[in-house]
């Protein structure tokens, strides 16, 4: 599985974990809103696990208590629930490998840090923040403007490599604050095979001695992720490529603590790009599109960041657009259900380069899914948005008919108000400018006569409404096309909506006649 010779070792992750059950994890920090890149990471983990009959775990990485944000953890799980990506194990769902919050696993990490120290792979560092800042100033050069705590500098600092054992013990016994740092080896090439980027290599001398255990006793990401992945039997670790630079530290920790044969297969997912590089919350604010899965209000600043859900996206569409934002199945197909994604997904089809987010394309996906889903599925969402406009449909069958009639015209869920609100409430404003320039006395007389005929109808149905309209137009020698636009504006308020006779049929005789009469009084002013 790996060879380790002289100063080089190589890991082939394709050979790891093949005889064990697939276990993947998403390990977010509870520090704020869930970025769409984070949801894509969840989705790829979920698809891979379900395709291979494995398990999807959510682990909360809350070791940095200074960045902890109240409510962020529950927000993360609410987002996953909306997306339909339910974990098999998590702090909420339980499991056999808990606790699933790193803050609740604090005691176990020190044991592994001490093992690294005893084996000569890590050391205590007693440097104060002021001494670290002084180091950056003292060793700053034109060639090295940002000195790191590395193999070149560690022997000039205050740590257990430069102090004798008695001094180290005295400092620890006296309660001096310290961190534990990994001791990066010198002049070693560290290589591994990434499921996306293939062969990746690093020179160990270029990597600084990362902190593994902080002064408060909490582990950093580097130590915690390795220990937790081992104890939770994670077989595959998919994470953003921003973590690729940390791979040499993690590979060494796997080798030192557990042996590389236990290391998960890794895949570092390419970035999602915005207009100016990596997609950020600022891009969304500047260009008017969401970057979070759901609305997130920062409890510190009270700043609201809009989410895809509140913007009017369907979870089916959201997952679909994220899936193909950096992956394809080798065909021209673009619309995938979750079941189809599970059956088609494979890591070898994930792109190596970043994928640019296109909000117009995102809306296209949502439009396609609105057209694809039936009225029963859409009805609760439409009801919620209509309620915001004080429209409360009492008849579900009627609402379903309306949804089916207008859904092809809707891109986002809020569009259903504009496209269907007039079925439930007469329009408050009419587009008179579209009618008045060509309005005539003959048209007034036509609609007055049409009202009489409508009121006399014994059978209110689509065929009768339309045939009566056209026959009356013929009798009065007016082209039906000249009358249909005014009729539409009378019923709808504007130049939009489905077939005008369908609208009349649905809103009923009394409402149709009432709207015509009201419009005539406005057109004839």
SS3 117: helix
User: From CA 390, how far away is CA 378, in angstroms rounded?
Assistant: 18
Confidence at residue 454, expressed as pLDDT on a 0 to 100 scale: 98
Q: Which helix (H) or strand (E) holds 266?
A: strand 265-269
SS3 395: coil
User: From CA 464, how far away is CA 456, in angstroms rounded?
Assistant: 11
**Tens digit of each residue's pLDDT, the chain (525 residues):** 333 323 333 443 333 444 589 999 999 999 999 999 999 999 999 999 999 999 999 999 998 878 889 999 999 999 999 999 999 999 999 999 999 999 999 999 999 999 999 999 999 999 999 999 999 999 998 888 889 999 999 999 999 999 999 999 999 999 999 999 999 999 999 999 999 999 999 999 999 999 999 999 999 999 999 999 999 999 999 999 999 999 999 999 999 999 999 999 999 999 999 888 888 888 888 888 999 999 999 998 899 999 999 999 999 999 999 999 999 999 999 999 999 999 999 999 999 999 999 999 999 999 999 999 999 999 999 999 999 999 999 999 999 999 999 999 999 999 999 999 999 999 999 999 999 999 999 999 999 999 999 999 999 999 999 999 999 999 999 999 999 999 999 999 999 999 999 999 999 999 999 999 999 999 998
Confidence at residue 19, expressed as pLDDT on a 0 to 100 scale: 54
Sheet holding 277-278: strands in order across? 277-278, 272-274, 355-356
- What's the chain's Rg over C-alpha atoms? 32
The secondary structure of the chain in percent helix, strand, coil, rounded to multiples of 5, reads: 50, 15, 35
Q: Helices (H), strands (E): how many in the chain?
A: 20, 16
Tokens of 425: 């409430």
Confidence at residue 277, expressed as pLDDT on a 0 to 100 scale: 83
Identify the CA nearest to 318 among candidates 297, 291, 281: 291
Confidence at residue 10, expressed as pLDDT on a 0 to 100 scale: 40
User: Are 305 and 296 a contacting pair, CB within 8 Å?
Assistant: yes
Q: Which helix (H) or strand (E) holds 56?
A: strand 55-58
User: Are 396 and 379 a contacting pair, CB within 8 Å?
Assistant: yes
Strand-pair category, 211-213 with 179-182? antiparallel
Q: What is the greatest pairwise CA distance in the chain?
A: 112
Confidence at residue 7, expressed as pLDDT on a 0 to 100 scale: 32
User: From CA 232, how far away is CA 60, in angstroms rounded?
Assistant: 13
User: Are 408 and 421 a contacting pair, CB within 8 Å?
Assistant: no
SS3 244: helix
User: From CA 175, how far away is CA 111, in angstroms rounded?
Assistant: 18
How crowded is residue 394: how many other Cβ atoms within 10 Å of its Cβ? 7
User: From CA 267, how far away is CA 48, in angstroms rounded?
Assistant: 12
3-class secondary structure per residue, 120-172:
CCEEEECCCHHHHHHHHHHCCCCCCCCCCCCCCCHHHCCECCCCCHHHHHHHH
Confidence at residue 380, expressed as pLDDT on a 0 to 100 scale: 97
User: From CA 90, how far away is CA 353, in angstroms rounded?
Assistant: 31
How crowded is residue 511: how many other Cβ atoms within 10 Å of its Cβ? 17
How crowded is residue 309: how many other Cβ atoms within 10 Å of its Cβ? 21
Cα-based distances in Å from 229 to 19, 173, 234, 347, 495: 17, 32, 5, 20, 59
First to last CA, the chain: 87
Sheet holding 122-125: strands in order across? 122-125, 179-182, 211-213
pTM for this predicted structure: 0.91
SS3 305: strand
DSSP secondary structure string for all residues of 409-433: G-SSTTHHHHHHGGGTS--SS--GG
User: From CA 463, how far away is CA 422, in angstroms rounded?
Assistant: 21
The residues, ordered by sequence, that sit 6+ positions from 47 with a Cβ below 8 Å of its Cβ are 323, 341, 342, 345
How crowded is residue 240: how many other Cβ atoms within 10 Å of its Cβ? 17
Respond yes or no: is residue 50 known to be catalytic.
no
Confidence at residue 16, expressed as pLDDT on a 0 to 100 scale: 43
Of residues 10, 106, 233, 281, which has the active-site annotation? Answer: 281
């Amino acid at each position: 599985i790996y060879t380790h010779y002289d100063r080089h070792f190589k890991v082939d992750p394709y050979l790891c974990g093949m005889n064990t059950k697939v276990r993947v994890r998403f390990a977010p920090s509870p520090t704020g809103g869930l970025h769409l890149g984070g949801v894509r990471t969840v989705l790829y983990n979920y698809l891979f696990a379900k395709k291979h009959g494995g398990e999807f775990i959510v682990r909360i990485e809350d070791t940095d208590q200074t960045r902890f944000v109240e409510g962020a953890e529950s927000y993360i799980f609410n987002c996953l629930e909306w997306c339909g990506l339910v974990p098999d194990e998590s702090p909420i769902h339980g499991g056999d490998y808990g606790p699933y919050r790193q803050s609740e696993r604090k005691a176990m990490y020190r044991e592994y840090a001490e093992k690294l120290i005893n084996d000569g792979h890590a050391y205590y560092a007693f440097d104060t923040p002021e001494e670290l800042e002084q180091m950056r100033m003292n060793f700053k050069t034109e060639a090295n403007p940002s000195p790191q705590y590395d193999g070149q500098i560690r022997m000039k600092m205050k740590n257990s490599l430069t102090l004798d054992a008695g001094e180290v013990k005295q400092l620890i016994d006296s309660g001096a604050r310290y961190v534990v740092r990994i001791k990066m080896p010198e002049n070693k090439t560290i290589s591994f095979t990434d499921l996306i980027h293939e062969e990746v290599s690093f020179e160990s001398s270029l990597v600084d001695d990362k902190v593994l255990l902080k002064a408060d006793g909490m582990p950093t990401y580097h130590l915690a992720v390795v220990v937790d992945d081992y104890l939770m039997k994670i077989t595959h670790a998919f994470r953003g490529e921003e973590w690729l630079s940390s791979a040499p530290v993690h590979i060494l920790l796997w080798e030192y603590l557990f042996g590389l044969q236990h290391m998960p297969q890794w895949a570092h997912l390419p970035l999602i790009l915005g207009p100016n590089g990596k997609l950020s919350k600022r891009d969304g604010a500047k260009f008017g599109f969401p970057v979070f899965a759901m609305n997130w209000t920062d409890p510190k600043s009270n700043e609201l960041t809009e989410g895809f859900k509140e913007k009017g996206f369907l979870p089916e569409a959201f997952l679909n657009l994220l899936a193909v934002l950096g992956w394809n199945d080798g065909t021209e197909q673009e619309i995938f259900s979750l079941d189809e994604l599970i059956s088609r997904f494979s890591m070898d089809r994930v792109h190596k380069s970043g994928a640019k987010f296109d909000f117009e394309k995102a809306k296209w996906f949502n439009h396609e899914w609105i057209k694809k889903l039936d009225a029963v599925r859409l009805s609760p969402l439409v009801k919620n948005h209509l309620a915001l406009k004080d429209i409360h449909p009492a008849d579900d069958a009627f609402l379903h008919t309306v949804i089916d009639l207008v859904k092809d015209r809707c891109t986002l869920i809020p569009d259903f108000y504009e496209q269907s609100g007039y079925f439930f409430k007469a329009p408050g404003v009419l587009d008179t400018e579209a009618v008045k320039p060509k309005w005539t006395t003959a048209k007034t007389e036509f609609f007055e006569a049409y009202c009489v005929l409508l009121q006399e109808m014994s059978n209110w149905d689509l065929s009768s409404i339309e045939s009566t309209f056209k026959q009356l137009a013929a009798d009065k020698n007016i082209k039906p096309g000249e009358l249909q636009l005014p009729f539409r504006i009378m019923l709808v308020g504007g130049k939009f909506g489905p077939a005008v006779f369908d609208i009349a049929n649905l809103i009923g005789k009394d409402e149709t006649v009432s709207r015509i009469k009201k419009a005539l009084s406005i057109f004839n002013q």
